[in-house]
Chain A
């Protein structure tokens, strides 16, 4: 499933070569469309030649259809693509400023490079001007940092804005583009070619144009019909890639490590408890939240998880660990980083950090999967030490008196408040914090 991890999969040289080749394709496509000529670009704003509109919107429509369709059929993972974050106000103001620069200078940065590459002196001057403007921005941005970072909406797409499938938005985009092409061509006829009013036509004039529009509309409808994959289908698509992590148990984390991490102030631990609510009410791990499987498939909830700070580790937990494993699949399929499963679930947790008999006792006899192994006398919530165990390590710190200090402290504490000490268990640490959002756009 795309996108490819070039450096990881093909080595450094390919990861250098690919952007170079993409840039060449980019430059060539712009040049052959006439974007190296400032007059052709400026003519857009006088409706004399709408090449800019045609080329730009065709490119956006073609690329967005290919991306939308590939994502729908599982060829490309949309979550892994860089989506320009939305900072609405600076983008609108910056856009207007660029429009002004466009009509005065006759280029945009990309097209000026192409013009310069074919020795257009005005293109070269524009590149130098743009370089100077960029330098000026770097020098002055600190005086309006607040505005520059305002109205931040993060990764926010049109399908999210309208609450519909991407395919539906694509149908709208295609129709809007075709409408603009027809309208633009009519304006071009009026202002550029001076066609008399009675000869103006608001429909495609050539059979090729009908075919082109038809193909775009068809792809948009197919994309909408197939639909973007939901959490379950995403997991099916990624099972081959992510399944081994479950098979080799590298995402099953020992309760001791979880307890240890909850005491690590440098790590934010978020525990998602997938048990039924009545089990959760009886007893839950401190700072865990009770969630349903439906919530894990809700895009808004997933978005809130992805917005957590980069030092977040998410654990799924259930009574045993089978339901938790399905929760893990839903989360990783949707691209949530740093997700692990608490090994053995609450049952295993309680067998390690055993609650005092006055609160709960082990259930006797056979039990089914995902059935509690302990019976509580009453609902205790997170109020016993089992919900938030303190960890002591077996390895004695060499040349350090912390161990004896803690024992002294325990001896001096009041007898009635003596906490049950966590047993010393050997375990393998598995949690590795991974950096999020490795992919960046061309603007960084």
Chain B
């Protein structure tokens, strides 16, 4: 089965906007991804080294003592994102093990840069108290000053470095 084309971006954006609005209407809060990744991460550390979790305040807030870091709606949202992404990928014929990379890099380079980029992004997301979903989309929709400053900074950071890493993607 060949992959079907992506939907019109303005239609996709409108659907995303309606989902975002529904999140606010139904739960009072917006969308999020990095918060739930944080909770999963803390729960893994908690399995391996529970005493360490209790000593690091940032982790202890979520998993200190008998607190279960996974008992939070954001974790269910993360599961939903995986299910929804998979369902849409299935419907449009895009579920396929593969590596998407620029034409001039090897698979290994792509996977290493994906990991490094992910690590940088994960770090920045926690520093900014939210990622593109939780800050830019959700905070942007309720017109939070900090979220708009964040959003512009993300684009600024990306464009600043884009020229230097152009070999990765072109």
List chain A positions with a Cβ less than 8 A from chain B. 2-4, 6, 15-16, 18-34, 36-40, 42-46, 51, 54-64, 66-67, 70, 76, 78, 80-88, 90-123, 125-139, 141-142, 148, 153, 155-161, 166, 169, 173, 209, 212, 439-444
Contact in complex: B77, A63 (CB < 8 Å):
no
The answer to whether B128 and A38 have CB atoms under 8 Å apart is no
> What's the minimum C-beta distance from B40 to chain A, rounded to whole angstroms?
7
Inter-subunit contact B141/A63 (CB<8 Å): yes
Main secondary structure of the interface of B (DSSP, over half): helix
Q: Are B162 and A87 in contact (CB under 8 A)?
A: no
Closest to A2 in B: B25
Question: Do B118 and A112 touch across chains, with their CB atoms under 8 A apart?
Answer: yes
Residues in chain A near residue B9, CB distance under 8 A: 33-34, 51, 54-55, 58
The answer to whether B124 and A98 have CB atoms under 8 Å apart is: yes
Decide: B133 and A33 in contact? CB cutoff 8 A. no
- 22 example contacts (A-B, Cβ-Cβ < 8 A) are as follows A4-B26, A18-B73, A20-B76, A28-B88, A29-B16, A36-B94, A51-B6, A55-B13, A60-B140, A62-B14, A62-B20, A66-B18, A84-B129, A94-B153, A95-B157, A99-B160, A100-B120, A101-B117, A101-B118, A116-B85, A134-B122, A173-B143
Per-residue A-contact encoding for B132-154, CB less than 8 Å = 1, 0 else: 11111111111111111111111
Does the CB pair A441–B134 fall under 8 Å?
A: yes
Which residue of A23, A39, A107, A128 has the most chain B CB atoms within 10 A of its CB atom? A23
User: What CA separation (Å) do A51 and B14 show in the bound complex?
Assistant: 13
Smallest CB-CB A-B distances: 8 pairs: A442-B32, A105-B117, A23-B80, A99-B157, A129-B118, A58-B13, A133-B122, A95-B153
Interface residues on B, range: 35 or more
Is B121 a contact partner of A108 (Cβ separation < 8 A)?
Answer: yes
Closest to A141 in B: B58
CB-CB under 8 A from A88, the residues of chain B are 145-146, 149
- C-alpha spacing A138/B55, complex, angstroms: 11
A285 shortest CB reach to chain B, Å:
36
